[in-house]
Amino acid sequence: MSDQEPGQRAWRASCTFCGAPVEFRSAASPMAVCSFCKSTLVRDGESLRRIGQSAELFDDHSPLTLGARGQYQGEAFTLIGRLQLAYKDDEGEEGRWTEWHALFDNGRSGSLSEDNGAYVFGFGLPPPAPTLPDLLQPAVGTALFVAQQPWVLSSRVQVHVHAAQGELSCVPDLQAIYPVVELRNTAGEVLSVELQASAPALSLGRSVQLAELKLSGLPDAKQPSEAKLKAKGIECPSCGTALAPTLDNTQSIVCSSCKAVVDISKGLGGDLAFYRQDNSLEPLIPLGRIGRLKVGGTVQTWQVVGYQERCDEPSGSDDEQTFWREYLLYNRMAGFVFLVDAEDGWSLVRTVTGVPSVKGDKLNFKGTDYKKRYTYTAKTTYVLGEFYWPVRKNQRSINTDYTGHSNGVALMLNSEQTGSEITWSAGEALTAKEVMAAFRMAPDQLGAMRRDAGLLSNINWADWMGTLFWIVLILVFLIIVTRCSDDCSDIRDTYGESSTEYQQCRSYHSSGSGHGGSSGGSYGGYSSGGSHK
């Protein structure tokens, strides 16, 4: 990009451990990692001081790379470093995420971070830091106030630095373990709080799509990315079959032969953790299949990289158990979305950065009201493919589903909560034919793809029952009127419609004889008393 020329000045010195050149693009960067020996080097005046060695990086799924250039809010930046953080939540689940150090041409530093399969661009809050409430005791999902602004406690995990690369805006403590808390609000913002021993570090970010950043200097998009773990010869610890991850940040992969779920989130040292699972039916949409779906208003290409089967755990013995299937779809620039196949139809869902607002007994998200349908415990029973989070046997979460409508389209909102995190996702309904067209499936598969319950699930049953009541009432009224309109029906049936007896009877009743002055109808009289029946 012609308007994004790299910086004109750089500071260079030799690594004190291996002698390789180490270049600082930012005069404000206090440290860097030697690209040759992985030594962590701190600037000490005009020299470098080695304080340790960084671990090997896990390459993440994104196309981002050091040296890539882009624009955010009209300002040009360069990615000059990245920090990889490993975490453990309250339930002992482990994982990691990557934060890229973005240096703007005006000298400002920002962070481009992974966020549940998407990205957030954030900046450190300038001092003085706002007074913080207690962030360690409240349960996830609790509403809190920071600087008189409402937030929702969305995540709390214990973190340590796993690895670093390039230049960072601060010197990381490679030995420390500290809490990181995330707060989210209805404006779609994320407030990240690192509760380190010295002082809390706060940053404020917003969701961003990589395509919006006008990135250049990325690896060739036409060359599919292959995970570097593949070259290291991973074998399934259950059956010995070679494993071939295709996403660089895969943390769980399923053996194609024995279907064992293998955890590679900690790398390849030592024994790989795994669990066996019984075989299930093959997914209707095969792994690796590529389709074109409209996500966020843009039609994009998506590849099926993961598949999981889930069910709810009924609260009572009389409750019916339901099952559904989720396809994890990946796009190089857009991240991940979920294609959900449930009893009430198909839907396309992705995680969102913010939280909905409460509006009486409803929720409101991006201008649409949602009504609560169900709250239930969801359990993962079977998985295939690869996932950007560690998959565990019988993983459970507390889910709540909400439904809404906008411009005739059925919309859904969902919260999924574990002990340390609550995640919101939003999506819209798809028809079976739309899914089949997106993935170019054969017409004879329509029977297997159709979900008849989906047609009924979009009906507003309260309105439908009201309409049905009036339909039945009108039908009953018409039947009564029809039967009462001919009091001589018995004579007609006996003597015939043209008979003298029938005509005399009709004439007698039409004259009003024999009744106490009521003309009939719905205001009393014979129609309600039945005196002549």
Query: Tens digits of per-residue pLDDT, 431-474?
Result: 999 999 999 999 999 988 987 544 334 444 445 556 666 677 77
* 8 pLDDT more than 50: no
Q: Does residue 56 sit within a domain?
A: yes
Assess whether 243 and 332 both reside in one domain: no
Question: Sorting pLDDT into bands at 50, 70 and 90, what band is 520?
Answer: very low
Contact yes or no for 341/432 (Cβ under 8 A)? no
Task: Name the more confident of 126 and 181.
Answer: 181
**Percentage, residues of the chain above pLDDT 70:** 64
Question: Sorting pLDDT into bands at 50, 70 and 90, what band is 116?
Answer: confident
Assess whether 490 and 409 both reside in one domain: no
pLDDT at 260: 74
What 8-state DSSP symbol labels residue 481?
H
Question: Sorting pLDDT into bands at 50, 70 and 90, what band is 37?
Answer: low
The DSSP string of 393-411 is: TT-EEEEEEEEEEETTEEE
Q: Does residue 6 sit within a domain?
A: no
Q: How far is CA 355 from the centre of its chain?
A: 12
Assess whether 186 and 107 both reside in one domain: yes
Task: Name the more confident of 128 and 492.
Answer: 128
For range 43-53, the mean pLDDT: 46
**Domain housing 455:** 285-459
Which stretch of 359-363, 376-380, 464-468 has the lowest confidence by average pLDDT?
Answer: 464-468
**Percentage, residues of the chain above pLDDT 90:** 43
Assess whether 342 and 420 both reside in one domain: yes
Number of structural domains the chain divides into: 4
Question: Sorting pLDDT into bands at 50, 70 and 90, what band is 3?
Answer: very low
Assess whether 178 and 200 both reside in one domain: yes
Contact yes or no for 489/495 (Cβ under 8 A)? no
Rounded to an integer, what distance in angstroms lies between the CA atom of residue 246 and that of residue 444?
31
Q: Does residue 398 sit within a domain?
A: yes
* 325 pLDDT more than 60: yes
* First and final C-alpha spacing in the chain: 92
For range 17-42, the mean pLDDT: 56
Assess whether 71 and 142 both reside in one domain: yes
Among 284-293, 390-399, 446-455, 486-495, which range has the highest average pLDDT? 284-293
Residue with tokens 């819209």: 428
Q: Does residue 409 sit within a domain?
A: yes
* 53 pLDDT more than 60: no
Assess whether 431 and 370 both reside in one domain: yes
Q: Does residue 521 sit within a domain?
A: no
Rounded to an integer, what distance in angstroms lies between the CA atom of residue 448 and that of residue 176?
53
Question: Sorting pLDDT into bands at 50, 70 and 90, what band is 299?
Answer: very high
Rounded to an integer, what distance in angstroms lies between the CA atom of residue 361 and that of residue 107?
47
For range 191-218, the mean pLDDT: 93
Task: Name the more confident of 276 and 299.
Answer: 299
Among 10-14, 213-217, 306-310, which range has the highest average pLDDT? 213-217
Dihedral pair phi/psi, residue 232, rounded to 5°: -95, 0
Assess whether 354 and 273 both reside in one domain: no
Which stretch of 43-52, 207-216, 434-443 has the lowest confidence by average pLDDT?
Answer: 43-52
How many C-alpha atoms does 109 have within 13 Å on its Cβ side? 20
* 419 pLDDT more than 60: yes
pLDDT at 385: 84
Residue with tokens 């209707």: 284
Other CB atoms within 10 A of residue 197 CB: 7
Assess whether 269 and 291 both reside in one domain: no
Question: Sorting pLDDT into bands at 50, 70 and 90, what band is 533?
Answer: very low
Task: Name the more confident of 471 and 24.
Answer: 471
Could you tell me the pTM of the whole model? 0.70
Q: Does residue 501 sit within a domain?
A: yes
pLDDT at 38: 54
Q: Does residue 520 sit within a domain?
A: no
For range 173-178, the mean pLDDT: 88
Assess whether 253 and 125 both reside in one domain: no
Which stretch of 78-82, 88-92, 521-525 has the lowest confidence by average pLDDT?
Answer: 521-525
Helices (H), 377-495: 432-438, 446-449, 453-457, 461-484, 489-495
- pLDDT averaged over every residue in the chain: 77
* 529 pLDDT more than 50: no
Q: What would the two tokens of residue 51 be?
A: 């304080």
Q: Give the CATH number, domain containing residue 256.
A: 2.20.28
Among 3-17, 126-140, 227-241, 432-446, which range has the highest average pLDDT? 432-446
Assess whether 455 and 467 both reside in one domain: no
Q: Which of 158, 187, 213 is the last residue of a domain?
A: 213
Assess whether 106 and 24 both reside in one domain: yes
Query: Tens digits of per-residue pLDDT, 463-518?
Result: 555 666 667 777 766 665 555 555 566 656 655 666 655 565 665 555 444 433 33
For range 299-304, the mean pLDDT: 95
Question: Sorting pLDDT into bands at 50, 70 and 90, what band is 357?
Answer: very high
Task: Name the more confident of 93 and 131.
Answer: 131
Asked if residue 200 has a cis previous peptide bond (ω within 30° of 0), the answer is no
Other CB atoms within 10 A of residue 222 CB: 5
Q: Does residue 516 sit within a domain?
A: no
